Chain A
Amino acid sequence: MRKLLSYLKPYRDRIALATLLMAVSAACDLLLPTLMADVLDKGVYGAAEADTFGYILTTAGWMLGLSLLSLASVSGGYWVVYHVVAGYTKDLRSALFRKVHTMTLTEVGRIGTSNLVTRSTHDVNTLNEVISMLCGGILIIPLMFLGGVVLCMRKDLVLSLVILCAVPLLIWAGLLLSKRIEHLWEVADEQCDRQNDLVRERLRGIRVIRAFDRERYAHERITDATHVMAENFIRANVSMEIIDPGAAFVLNAAALLVVYLGGLRMERGGGLTAGDVFAIIQYINIILSAIVAVSYDIVMLPHVRVAVRRLSQITESTGLEDNRPAEGLSFSGAIDLEHAGFTYPGGSLPALADVDIHIRPGEWVSVIGGTGSGKSTLAELLLAFRAPTEGTLRFDGRDAAEFSPKDIRANVSCALQKSMLYAGTVAENLRMGKPEATDGELWTALELAQAADFVREQPEGLDFRLEPAGTNVSGGQKQRLAIARAILKDAPIYLFDDSFSALDFLTEAKVRKALNERLAGKTRIVITQRVVSAMHSDRIFVLADGALVGAGTHAELLESCSIYREIYLSQTGGGAA
């Protein structure tokens, strides 16, 4: 919470200015009825001095001036408020984004990508709305209230008590109600999510649903959920609608009380005038409209608690990565894993245990295993996303912990399991690992990755724009672009983590051939589930349930490793030896 507020610090002066402007405007609004009462009291009923109408005109002039001042200051106030809110939101977003990229992969995984996204969008927006409400609308209420009470007190102490009691009572009732509504909204939101899921599920399964002729059933599920959701939604809305008439009734009743008490006090002869009573009624009216105007916003306040709690989880996260600057080291490509193991935080079994792998510079090795074998964890160790919890990982004989993660990553060029592309042109995506690469180099890399044809087909060529996360190209094309990007980057070590899975055998064979020609002499590590991707490499390491169960060439493993043989037979039917 403190951290979130600290981003407001640079805007202190501007917030003060906005508050001042809002206060000026509120004061003007409150002075208007006072002047009007003056007109009626003095101008019309007062000791009929020489120029009564002149007095009326002068006062009207003042009223006009005040109205204009009010509009000017409130506009100025909002102008400042929205600048503050925009600045704050931008700062907060930027800080969150930066923070996420300093967190460890474990921490990112713990919070979850979709949670991170909701937090930096939905929760930030909530905070944004609330701050604009706080600086704009809600701030006016206490000002109006205080101003109204002060003006009232000037006229009559007893009458001011009415306002003094009614307004806090209303606010208290409003907060009480908002708590109830908060719950109703929560239920309504849940129903809405459920409805969303049902529609998404139906769209995803449209072929199966139609194949089994179950459209009616799918429709009925949605219909039922719709009725439940509409019910809850309406209940929440209807509860909210109490605020407006409820507040109006209380304040109007208060105004009646003022008239009656005013009558009593006037009879007593305390110097209270009819104009004063009239003015006080109008103050109540002004306060009422201010309250009604923000009553719908007040309901937002409970959402803030949730947003703040969730945002603090990011801003206060301590799972940060080693942030040493890169030293610009170059590795030779020798990698040694010595009894290396890794257990996820809170995991009971190790994901990798006692793995001994020694890779010589320039060697082409494969790591094969099924889901849950630990091969992805191995890739994460090599990219310094995780540090071994047991044993050591060495590059060029030096413990990986001695290097900045940035140096390690600069020396390992990779194409990862889920081919990660970014919104932007093909060229921009390829140049990530080598910003100075020429177009010629890009084309060579594309040729090698069997992606040149597809890029050439696009009218924009290298400037073909990819949608966010590359959603406008197929899975196979994504993988080939990622492979091209990895090839383009100059590094002593190349890591391909399950990055051929969407390619058919023919394409994969071509890619493999091109890679081995182009990257000869570099250390190549291919992590895969497919035996054809692994069988030709210098050495193959077989992982199963986190343990290294075999190492050697294809021929050796067929002899010695039953798991490898099993994989081989199931995938090829033993068609080639």
Chain B
Amino acid sequence: MSSSGQNEKSKNRKEKRRVFDETGKRLLRELWPLRGWILLVAVLCLVLIGCAVAVPELLGAQIDKLYDWTKTRAPGLARSLLPGLGLLLGVYALQEGLTYLKYYLLQSVVSRYFCAEFRIRLSEKLRRLPISFLDKTPAGDVIDRMMDDVSEMAASVYFLVNILLSGFLQIAVIALILFFTDWRLAIPVVLLAPLSVFLSARMATLGEEHWDKHFELGGKLTSLAEEAYTNYPTTKAFNREEELQKRYDELSERHQQSGILGGFLSSIVQPVIALVNALAYIAVTVVGGWLILHRGVLIGTVVTVIFFVRQFSGPLESIAWSLGYIQHVKACAKRVFTMLDLPEEPDASGAVEPPVRGRVELRHVDFSYDPKKPLIRDLNMDIQPGRKVAIVGPTGAGKTTIVNLLMRFYDIEAGQILVDGRDVSELSRAEDRRLFGMVLQDTWLFKGTVAENVAYGSPEATREEIERACECAYCDGFIRRLPQGYDTVISEDSTAVSSGQKQLLTIARALLADRPLLILDEATSNVDTRTELLIQKAMDRLMGGRTCFVIAHRLSTIVDADLILVIRDGQIVEQGTHKSLLAQKGFYYELFQSQYAI
């Protein structure tokens, strides 16, 4: 769990304790499509309550027979019990059968709806979110929302529907019946019920607060362990084990302290309810005893009431739990709703005849990631079809910004980008992107076969076409040596292919897609010399005849570029050819010389 997510959750909980705030209402609205099913569950609940009411009556009647026998000593007691007990057995069977049916329905309808529907909605949302949001938000945070938060939501809506329907209905019906059975016995029971709900809900809420703290510290503990274990070599190299141990133990101590209170408070919710319940029990005994002695109330009536008291505690407990829990649910739901409500990326309707020649112009382009820090101001360039543009500069200077703008991962603030004289903002993003082939330094493969990965940009490609592209990109050889050749399943962290080979695969992918324009981000390191030469050759093949933008990390590869843009601190500080830039003796010259400096 990301720490920012945790903070948001706990803050959210502190602000609002009302059950039906915006999020609560929206959760209810989300239940509307399920109304038919929920109605069915409600009917089941009513039948179940009927059973719950019948049981104490029936059982009380049988016990009554036992007490009567004590007075009358009439023969045939056991036999006289049989019909009532048989009926009870039937009622029990019905009751538990229906209980299971109710769980089953709730699970397979309500839980499934929330589990699947919301995940799919979030996934759909992901298609339309701007990259700027995804760049700013840690992947863990999005995953948390899609996985944990949705799970929590599903589990809790299930919980709440169950409790709201059966819990409250049951309590209401039993309270009514108690009044009809004997109002004098009913009073203590009904008076004590809210007390137990209040006490236990209070404790559950308090417990939750400590749990929050506990989980937050738990997250810190995890990241400390993660850090320590990945940093193992550094820790040892600096002989710092003891100090790290001390930090870990201290945090662990705080973590456990918060756990004690949280665990304790939530554990005694049930005993507290049991105590209040026992108070009701005692009150019924005293009042009942007095009524039997002085008002001639039947002992069976008192016994029935006592059974009802027991039936009260179950729903009370679950209501208490859910009141403590509901804040947690809403925090999760809120995070899900927030993501669903995020502004989406605007897009042109497109369907314009897309350009194909490959002339790229930037006119008076302004851009910044943060409005307070202007990055690109009045950027102009005009690149003729088939030319090679190199972008160079120190690490972190903003070389990838150009890629972000050309691919419309980010939108320019002012000015125009034109391809073949047409403003790209008239094209839909998909159409615009279809003009570009892209090979990024950060290779990306998805879990699938080699062939599927190569054909990622051109799903309709035949196997022959795939193989031809791979041959061109020098990957046919190693692919054929893989256990299942082109059908070998690979993924991001698969060790079957080296990082250099992954690079080659992404080149094959771009070759196969065959787009008029090309964006290349050179590999930096972690590639052995031989593979690097292959990559270089494959890239040269890929570039042939296309308008290319190359983000260069090695100056040797761009000597022949038609235009070199030198970027420093987000600004284009120099532009020209290799020769003209060297002649300027400016920043490019300094960069170039530094390769050979002592």
Contact = CB atoms under 8 A, between A and B. Distances in A.
Nearest to B135: A206
A571 B228 CA distance: 35
Interface in B53-112: 59, 62-63, 65-67, 69-71, 75, 77-78, 80-82, 85, 88-89, 92-93, 95-97, 99-100, 103-104, 107-108, 111-112
A192 B248 contact: no
A507 B394 contact: yes
Contacts of B554: 571-573
B240 interface: yes
A44 interface: yes
Interface string B132-160: 00100001001100110000000000000
Contacts of A67: 274-275, 278-279, 282
Given A101-B241, A266-B66, A570-B533, A423 B227 contact: yes
B325 interface: no
Nearest to B556: A573
B107 A249 contact: no
B127 A215 contact: yes
Given A86-B259, A208-B440, A512-B598, A572 B556 contact: yes
B1 to A, nearest CB: 11
Contacts of B237: 383, 409, 412, 414, 416
Contact of B139 (A203, A218, A563): A203
B247 to A, nearest CB: 9
Contacts of B395: 474-476, 502-504, 507
Contacts of B62: 259
Contact of A237 (B96, B111, B430): B111
Given A67-B282, A71-B272, A469 B231 contact: yes
Contacts of B270: 293
B396 interface: yes
Contacts of B597: 509, 512-513
Given A43-B289, A266-B66, A509-B597, A206 B131 contact: yes
A396 B235 CA distance: 25
A219 B274 contact: no
A78 B264 contact: yes
B20 interface: no
B227 A469 contact: yes
B70 A45 contact: yes
Interface in A397-442: 405-406, 409-410, 412, 414, 416, 418, 420-423, 432-433
A68 B93 CA distance: 36
A186 to B, nearest CB: 17
B263 A85 contact: yes
Contact of B447 (A201, A252, A504, A508): A201
A501 B525 contact: yes
A79 interface: yes
A207 B132 CA distance: 11
B280 to A, nearest CB: 10
A184 to B, nearest CB: 13
B590 interface: yes
Interface stretch (A91-99, A334-342, A346-354): A91-99
A263 B77 contact: yes
A383 B532 CA distance: 30
Interface in B223-258: 223-241, 244-245, 248-249, 252-253, 255-257
B107 A237 contact: yes
Contacts of A226: 115-116, 119-120, 123
A370 interface: yes
Contacts of B525: 501, 529-530
Given A212-B513, A370-B527, A263 B81 contact: yes
Interface stretch (A49-57, A165-173, A387-395, A518-526): A49-57
A464 B289 CA distance: 74
Interface in B421-444: 429-430, 433-434, 436, 438, 440, 444
Given A75-B268, A237-B107, A468-B223, A385 B281 contact: no
Interface residues of B, number: 154
A244 interface: yes
A262 to B, nearest CB: 7
Nearest to A275: B67
A292 to B, nearest CB: 9
Contacts of A267: 69, 75, 77-78
Contacts of B349: none
A576 interface: yes
A227 B596 contact: no
Nearest to A116: B229
Contacts of B78: 260, 263-264, 267
B560 to A, nearest CB: 10
Interface in B262-313: 263-264, 267-268, 270-272, 274-275, 278-279, 281-282, 285-286, 289-290, 292-293, 299, 302-303, 306, 310, 313
Contacts of A230: 111-112, 115-116, 119
Interface stretch (A8-16, A32-40, A143-151, A175-183): A32-40
Contact of B124 (A105, A201, A219, A274): A219
Contacts of B272: 71
> For this complex, into which size category does the number of interface residues on chain A fall?
35 or more
B108 to A, nearest CB: 6
Contacts of B223: 423, 468-469
A198 B123 CA distance: 11
B248 A516 contact: no
A83 interface: yes
Nearest to A136: B267
B369 interface: no
> Taking each of A36, A198, A410, which has the highest tally of chain B beta carbons within 10 Å of its own beta carbon?
A36
Nearest to A286: B310
Contacts of A40: 67, 299, 302-303
Contacts of A213: 430, 433-434
Interface string A252-295: 11011001101110110000011001100110010001000100
Interface string A84-120: 0111011001100110110001001000010011001
B225 A575 contact: no
Contacts of A203: 126, 134, 139, 142-143
Contacts of B532: 570
Contacts of A208: 438, 440, 444, 456
Nearest to A269: B73
A36 B279 contact: no
Nearest to A573: B556
Contacts of B299: 40, 44-45
B88 A256 contact: yes
A344 interface: no
Contact of B436 (A205, A211, A281): A211
Nearest to B408: A210
Contact of B233 (A53, A105, A227, A422): A105
Contacts of A306: none
Given A44-B292, A97-B228, A120-B225, A212 B456 contact: yes
Contacts of A206: 131, 134
A414 B530 CA distance: 30
Nearest to A112: B229
A468 B227 contact: yes
B226 A117 contact: yes
B436 A199 contact: no
Nearest to A63: B282
A74 B275 CA distance: 11
Contacts of A465: none
Contact of A74 (B85, B134, B268, B530): B268
> Taking each of A212, A231, A255, which has the highest tally of chain B beta carbons within 10 Å of its own beta carbon?
A212
Contacts of B495: none
6 contacts: A64-B278, A82-B267, A234-B108, A281-B63, A423-B224, A506-B590
Given A67-B278, A226-B123, A238-B107, 4 more contacts: A226-B119, A237-B107, A274-B67, A503-B395
* Top 3 closest pairs, chain A to chain B, by CB: A573-B556, A370-B528, A420-B234
